[in-house]
Amino acid sequence: MRRFLKWFGIIAGGLLGVFIVLLVVLFFVGSRKVDRTYDVQIASVAVPTDAASIARGKHYVEAIGVCQVCHGQDLAGPVVDDCKNDPCTGFSNDPIFGKLMPNNLTSGRGGTGSVFTDADYVRAIRHGIGRDNKSLLIMPSEQYNKISDEDLGAMIAYLKTLDPVDNELGESNLGPLGRVIAVIAGGLLPASQIDHSAARAPSPVVGVSVEYGGYLAEVCTICHGDGLTGSKVPGNERVDALNITLDGPLGDWTKSQFINTIRSGITPQGDLLDPRFMPWNRFTRMTDDELDAIWLYIQSLPGG
Ligand code: HEC
Ligand code: HEC
The bound ligand whose nearest atom lies closest to the alpha carbon of 225 is: 2
Task: Give the per-residue pLDDT at 1.
Answer: 73
Which of 224, 239, 245 gets mutated to test ligand 2 (max ligand atoms within 8 A of its CB)?
A: 224
Average pLDDT value over all residues in the chain: 94
Using a 6 Å cutoff on CB, does residue 233 contact ligand 1?
no
Give every CB contact of residue 299 below 8 A, 6+ residues apart in sequence.
210, 246
**So what's the pLDDT on residue 3?**
85
Is the shortest distance between the CB of 169 and ligand 1 below 6 Å? no
- Atom 38 in ligand 2: which residue has the minimum CA distance? 220
Q: How far apart are CA 80 and CA 172, in angstroms?
A: 13
Task: Compute the average pLDDT of residues 177-197.
Answer: 93
What per-residue confidence (pLDDT) applies to 89? 84
The verdict on the CB of residue 130 being under 6 Å from ligand 1 is yes
User: How far from chain centre, in Å, is Cα 211?
Assistant: 22
Share above pLDDT 90 across residues of the chain, in percent, rounded to a whole number: 87
Is 77 close to ligand 1, i.e. is its CB under 6 Å away?
A: no
Choose among 182, 203, 230: nearest CA to 33: 182
pLDDT band at 87 (very low <50, low <70, confident <90, very high): confident
Report the alpha-carbon distance of residue 168 to residue 166 in Å, rounded. 7
The larger pLDDT score, comparing residue 84 to residue 296, is at 296
Q: Exposure pattern of 221-255 as b/e (b: 16+ CB <10 Å)?
A: bbbbbeebbbbbbbbbeebebbbbbbebebeebee
CA-134 nearest atom, ligand 1: 18
Distance, CA 159 to ligand 1 centroid (Å)? Answer: 12
pLDDT of residue 85: 83
pLDDT for position 60 = 98
Cβ–Cβ < 8 Å for 279, 69: yes
pLDDT in tens, 106-164: 999 999 999 999 999 999 999 999 999 999 999 999 999 999 999 999 999 999 999 99
139 CB within 6 A, ligand 1? yes
Ligand 1 contacts CB of residue 63 (under 6 A): no
Total count of residues recorded for the chain: 304
> CA quadruple 191, 197, 198, 201: dihedral positive or negative?
positive
- For 217-241, what is each residue's pLDDT tens digit? 999 999 999 999 999 988 777 889 9
Rounded Cα distance between 65 and 143, Å, is 9
290 pLDDT more than 80? yes
pLDDT at 303: 65
The CA 167 to ligand 2 mean position distance, Å, reads 29
Residues having CB closer than 6 A to ligand 2 are 69, 89, 217, 219-220, 222-224, 233, 239, 241-242, 244, 248-249, 261, 267, 271, 273-274, 277-279, 283, 294
pLDDT band at 271 (very low <50, low <70, confident <90, very high): very high
Shortest-distance ligand to the CA of residue 276: 2
pLDDT value, residue 90: 86
Q: Say whether pLDDT at 304 is over 70.
A: no
Which residue's alpha carbon is at the smallest distance from atom 27 of ligand 1?
Answer: 130
Q: pLDDT band for position 88 (50/70/90)?
A: confident
How much is the average pLDDT of 97-107?
96
